[in-house]
Amino acid sequence: MKSKSPSANVSKLKLHLGKYLAMVKRGKDVIVLDRTTPIARLVPYSDDIPDTLVITPAAEDAAAIGSLRFPPVSDGPTDGVAVLLKERKERL
């Protein structure tokens, strides 16, 4: 079983940077949080990982975007929750 990665919010990371970098040196990943949202992961450096950007092709053809259906735009106030519930019912 893999242990959970340690995490730190930005201010705690700045205050104790040396401690977290020591964890990374020992092979641990450290999750950086903005409040409770993960925003980055500090991982040990490896020469095995290429420095190049890997581009993965899109799952669908870009031309397919023209076939997307969007709901009509309302002129007045809209109840977003009601719209989402209606859309979900239509999908079922």
Q: What is the distance between the alpha carbons of residues 27 and 3, in angstroms, rounded to a whole number?
A: 12
Q: Give the pLDDT confidence score for residue 3 in this predicted structure.
A: 62
- Model pLDDT for residues 42-54, shown as the tens digit of each residue: 999 888 777 777 7
Q: Give the pLDDT confidence score for residue 1 in this predicted structure.
A: 43
- Model pLDDT for residues 56-82, shown as the tens digit of each residue: 776 667 677 777 777 777 777 778 888
| pTM (two decimals) | 0.50
Q: What is the distance between the alpha carbons of residues 13 and 9, in angstroms, rounded to a whole number?
A: 6
68, 57 contact by CB (below 8 A): no
